[in-house]
Structure 1
Amino acid sequence: MSELKFPEHFIESLKDQPGFDELKFTEVHKKNNPPTSVRINPNKKTGFANTQPIPWCKEGYYLTERPSFTFDPAFHAGCYYVQEASSMFLDTIFRQIKRDYDAPVKVLDLCAAPGGKSTLLASAINNNDLLVANEIIKTRVPILTDNLTRWGNANVVVTNNDPKDFGRLPGFFDVMVVDAPCSGSGMFRKDTAAMDEWSENNVSLCHQRQERILADVYTTLKEDGHLIYSTCSYSAEENEQILDWLCETYNIESVRVAIDPSWGIVETQSERHKAWGYRFYPDKVQGEGLFAACLIKREPALNASTYKSKFQKLNPKEIEPLKKYLLDSDSLHYFKVGDDWLAIPEVHRDSMIALQQALYIKKSGVRIGRMAGKDLLPDHELAMSLLINEDQFNSVALDKEQAIAYLRRDNINNLNTAKPGWSLMTFENHILGWAKLLPNRVNNYYPKELRILSTEARIKSQEPRQ
C-alpha cells in the first residue's frame, strides 16, 4: 500500500477501545503483509513445509509463503482449508464449552458461507453430534456446500434460510455460532476496498442488523445452550455493546474463555454488564481484526414442536445393495431425493425430520448416487465422503500433471485403463473424484461447476475472510 488513508473518523472511534495502539496499528497496515494460514482436515491429513502452529487452533498453521492453492490437488481433495488465522479462535471457544456437554450436541452455524467456521466445527464435533450450516444469501450457498462436501463429514446439513425461520425450531440447538454481518474494519489490511464502505452510519446500521439477527434466532437455542458471537469489526457498537444488549434483553450470562497471554489476544469486558470479549489486533497477533465472545442461555426454551416423518417408507431390500459401498453402513439412515440415495447417521434421523419440515435444505448427509439395476452410479459427494468404502472401487493414482488435467476435466494422458468401470481418481492417496474407464477412453466425471478454470496461480473460490 503506497499511501494509507483510513476512513474519516475511523481512528478516532477506536482510541478508547481496549488494547488499541494507534502507532503500531497504523504501521502494521502500512506494511500490508498479512500472514497466510491454513487449517488441516484431521481426517484427510496432508503436510506443508516450514509451518508454524496457530496457538489457538488445534489444526491451524501459518505458512512461510503463499503457494498456488488453485493448482494443489490436495486442496480440491479437502485436505485443508485456507482460513484467516484469527477466525480460527472459534476452535478454542468451542472445544472449551464442548466439555460441558455429556450428550451429543446440535450446532448451528447461522452465517456460514464460505465454510471456514463450518469445516472447523465439523472437525471439532463428534460423529454423534450434528452440524447445521446455514447461509442467508442464496448465491453464497453453493461455495458453502462445496467446501463441506470436500471436508467429507456425514453429520452435516446445509440450509438456506433467513434467521427468523429458525423460530420454527424452538430449543433445538445446543450451540449457536453467529458470525454476524458487520462493518468489516477488521479486514482493512487484507481487503482495502472495505475502507471505502466504512462509515459511522454503517456501523450503526450493522449494530441494528446484529440485534435483529440475534433476536430472530435466540429462541432456537436450548436452555443452558451456548451462543458464540463474533464480528470482523473493531467498533464497540458491534461488539461489547451487543453483549450488553444481550444481557439486558435476555437471561443470558457471559462465559470467560481461557486464553494464554502469549497469544496477544486482548481480553475485554463490556461497560455495563462486564461481559467478556476477545479482541484481535493485527499488530498484536499474526492475524486480522476479530472480536469474539461466548454466552450461555439461562432461561427455559419454548416447547419444541412435534413433527411427523416425511421420509419414504423404503423396502429394506432396496437399501441392502447400497451398504457394501459404505463404511459402518448399519449405523446409517437411508433416504431418497428423487432417484438419488442419501445417507446420514441414524442417530440424526429425528433431527432430519424436524429440519426438513422447518427449513429449506440444500444438502443433508451424503448423496451416494443412484442405482441402475444392480449397479451404482456414484455421486461426487460419495467420493469425497468419509463414509466411502474404497475397497469396493478401482482406484487410479495420478501424478501432479494428470491430477490437474483431471480437475480441469481435460483428457488424462498415459492412464492405465486395465480395469474398466467406475474408478476413484486419487492424488497422493487422497480422492479427487470419479472417472469411468472404458477400453478406448476415459470419461471424466469431475463436476463441471468445480473444475479449474483459472490459468493464474491464485485461489478464486474463497473470500478474504473465511
Structure 2
Amino acid sequence: MNNVIFPENFINSLRVESGFNEQNFVNAHQNGAPVSIRINPFKPSGVKNGRQVPWCDEGFYLENRPSFTFDPLFHAGAYYVQEASSMFIGYIFNYIKPNDEAIKVLDLCGAPGGKSTLINSALNKDDLLVANEIIKTRVPILSDNLTRWGTANSIVTNNDPRDFSKLKGFFDVMIVDAPCSGSGMFRKDPEAMNEWSEANVQLCHQRQQRILADVYPALKEDGYLIYSTCSYSHQENEDILDWLCDEFDLETVEIPVDAAWGIVVSRSEKYSAFGYRFYPGQVEGEGLFAACLKKKDNSGEVSAYKNNAQQKLPAREIDMVRSYIDQPDDYYYLKVNDDWLAISREHKESLNTLHKQLYIKKSGVRIGKLAGNDLIPDHELALSNIINKDAVLQTVLNYDDAIAYLRKDNLILDTTDKGWSLIEYEGLSLGWAKLLPNRVNNYYPKELRILSKPI
C-alpha cells in the first residue's frame, strides 16, 4: 500500500522508543509483507524452501505467495503458513526448555494454532501441550491445525484464563500471546489501523493484567512465562513486565540474540526486564514484542486426579483399535461416547486432572468408531503420525485427483481394492475414502473441503 496514514499520535508514541527507526518503519509499511512458512518436522515432504528465517530452523521465507489452498501438502500438514517474527516464540522456548525432564506447556491464547504447532514441534512425545482458546468459535481452527500437525501429545481446551487458577503449579511453561491493540499487524491487516486508539491500548493493558493474574497460579515454581503481543505500545509491553514483577515474584530472563537479526532489545523502566521488539523495516517480519520471565514463588500444587469411575473397556475392542496404531504400547486408549481416542501413555493422569477442571475439545488423536468387527476411521487418525499404515489400504493420488478429493468431488480410480483406504499424496496422508465395486465414497470432512476452484 502507498501513502500510509497512521492513526493520530501513533508514530509519536514510537519516537520515544530506543532503537526505533521511523523512516525504515514507514517505508516498510508502503510495501507488502514478507511470506513465510514453517516446516512440520514430523512430516518430511518435498516442500520447496526459500531463505531460512534466522531465529527458526524450520522457518523459511518464500519469494512470492503461492495459492496455499491448492497445495495438497498444506492440507496434509507438511507446513504451516506463519509470520516470521512470531516464530521467535519458539526460539525463546528452545532456549529455556530443559533437556532432561518431561514438561507440561500451556498455550493460553492458542487459535489459530501458529504458536501451538510451533511449540509442539519442539516437544518430545513425553512432553504435553495444552492449547487453549478462550473464544469458542475459534476452537475448531485450533483443533484442525493441531490435527494436521499429527502428534498425540496435545490437548485442546476452551476455557477462560481464570479456570486455570485451580491447576496450581501444573505447568512448567506458559505462553501468553495476549489480546492486544494490534499495531504490529498494520501492514498485514490495514483495517487494524481503524481500530487503534490510545483508549484501546489502555483497555488492552487492563485486559492483559486480568488474564495474567488469573492464569499465574497454574505456573509452577521455577517455571517460565513467555509473554508476547503484536503491539508496539509501551503500556502493553514493558509496562506489563514491570507490573508482573511488582505483583508477583518473577525475574527476567535474558534471551541471547544476534545483532544482525535487527531485533531491538529493550529494558523495562522499573525492573529492567528484558523485552524483544520487532519492527518492520528492521526485521523481515511483522511487529512483535516478546519477553520471558521465571517464577520464583510457589502457588501450591494441584492434586493428581485418578478417575476411579472410568469405564471398563472390552479387551477385544481395545485389541482391534490397537492394531491401527504404530507402537501401540506407547499410548493410552479411552472412549468418549462411541469414539476411540489415543494419547501418549505418559499423559493419562494429566488428562484425568485436566478433565476434572477444564472443558476439553480434543485429546490426542481420535481413532474412530467400532462397528462390529470394523473400524470406521476418523480423519484425525489419517493425518496423525501414530497410524500403522501396514494395517490399512493406501491409495496414491496425482495432483489433479488430490485437489478433486480435497474438494469432495467424485473420484474415478483405476483400482480393484475394496474397503477403507488412506488417501495419499507425495507420501503424506490427506484423509479417507471407501473403495466400492462401482464407486469411491469420499470421506474428506465437508467442513474442511476446498470451496473455490483452481484458477
Q: Distance in 2 between matches of 1:455 and 1:162?
A: 39
Q: Distance in 1 between matches of 2:164 and 2:107?
A: 12
Match of residue 294 from structure 2? 296
Check conservation: 1:50, 1:64, Cα contact below 8 A.
no
Q: What amino acid is aligned across from residue 280 of structure 1 in structure 2? A: F
Q: Distance in 2 between matches of 1:455 and 1:317?
A: 45
1:233 aligns with 2:231: yes
Q: Distance in 1 between matches of 2:256 and 2:312?
A: 49
Match of residue 53 from structure 2? 54
1:111 aligns with 2:118: no
Q: Which runs of 5+ in 2 are unaligned?
A: none
Match of residue 447 from structure 1? 445
1:203 aligns with 2:201: yes
Q: Distance in 1 between matches of 2:3 and 2:28?
A: 13
Match of 1:222 among 216, 220, 223: 220
Q: What amino acid is aligned across from residue 142 of structure 1 in structure 2? A: P
Deviation at 1:237, TM superposition (A): 0.4
1:348 aligns with 2:347: yes
Match of residue 78 from structure 2? 79
Check conservation: 2:36, 2:60, Cα contact below 8 A.
yes
Classify the secondary structure of the residue corresponding to 2:68. Answer: coil
Q: What amino acid is aligned across from residue 296 of structure 2 in structure 1? A: R
Q: Once the two structures are superposed, what CA deviation does each residue of 1:6-35 show, in whole Å capped at 9, x if it has no partner?
A: 0001011111112111111111112x2211
Match of residue 94 from structure 1? 93
Q: Once the two structures are superposed, what CA deviation does each residue of 1:14-59 show, in whole Å capped at 9, x if it has no partner?
A: 11112111111111112x2211000000111234446000010120
Residue range with higher mean Cα deviation, 317-326 or 233-242: 317-326
Q: What amino acid is aligned across from residue 324 of structure 2 in structure 1? A: Y
Q: What amino acid is aligned across from residue 12 of structure 1 in structure 2? A: N
Q: What amino acid is aligned across from residue 234 of structure 1 in structure 2? A: Y
Check conservation: 1:231, 1:239, Cα contact below 8 A.
yes
Match of residue 121 from structure 1? 119
User: How does 1:147-226 map onto structure 2 within 5 Å?
Assistant: 147-226=145-224
Classify the secondary structure of the residue corresponding to 2:291. Answer: strand
Classify the secondary structure of the residue corresponding to 2:225. Answer: strand
Q: Once the two structures are superposed, what CA deviation does each residue of 1:313-370 show, in whole Å capped at 9, x if it has no partner?
A: 2233331111111011012111101111111111100000001010000000111011
Q: Distance in 2 between matches of 1:8 and 1:24?
A: 19
Check conservation: 2:277, 2:287, Cα contact below 8 A.
yes
Q: What amino acid is aligned across from residue 195 of structure 1 in structure 2? A: M
Q: What amino acid is aligned across from residue 373 of structure 2 in structure 1? A: K
User: Identity rate of aligned residues, in percent?
Assistant: 63
Deviating beyond 3 angstroms after TM superposition, the runs of 4 or more aligned structure 1 residues are 47-50
Classify the secondary structure of the residue corresponding to 2:70. Answer: coil
Classify the secondary structure of the residue corresponding to 1:191. Answer: coil
Match of residue 333 from structure 2? 334
Match of 2:427 among 426, 429, 443: 429
Classify the secondary structure of the residue corresponding to 2:29. Answer: helix
Q: Which runs of 5+ in 1 are unaligned?
A: 458-466
Match of residue 462 from structure 1? none
- When normalised by structure 2's length, the TM-score is 0.98
Match of residue 359 from structure 2? 360
Residue range with higher mean Cα deviation, 63-72 or 305-314: 305-314
1:287–1:47 CA distance, 2 compared to 1 (3 A): farther
Match of residue 14 from structure 1? 14
Classify the secondary structure of the residue corresponding to 1:431. Answer: strand
Classify the secondary structure of the residue corresponding to 2:343. Answer: strand
Check conservation: 2:47, 2:78, Cα contact below 8 A.
no
Match of residue 381 from structure 1? 380
Deviation at 1:306, TM superposition (A): 4.2
Q: What amino acid is aligned across from residue 148 of structure 1 in structure 2? A: L
Equivalenced residue count is 454
Check conservation: 1:407, 1:446, Cα contact below 8 A.
yes
Residue range with higher mean Cα deviation, 279-288 or 302-311: 302-311
Check conservation: 1:166, 1:220, Cα contact below 8 A.
yes
Match of residue 420 from structure 1? 418
Q: Once the two structures are superposed, what CA deviation does each residue of 1:275-315 show, in whole Å capped at 9, x if it has no partner?
A: 00100011111100000000000011223134231531223
Check conservation: 1:417, 1:439, Cα contact below 8 A.
no
Please provide the CA RMSD for this pair: 1.1
Classify the secondary structure of the residue corresponding to 2:69. Answer: coil
Match of residue 29 from structure 2? 29
1:306–1:43 CA distance, 2 compared to 1 (3 A): closer
Check conservation: 2:41, 2:121, Cα contact below 8 A.
yes
Q: Distance in 2 between matches of 1:89 and 1:449?
A: 32
Q: Distance in 1 between matches of 2:426 and 2:304?
A: 48
- When normalised by structure 1's length, the TM-score is 0.96
Check conservation: 2:170, 2:301, Cα contact below 8 A.
no
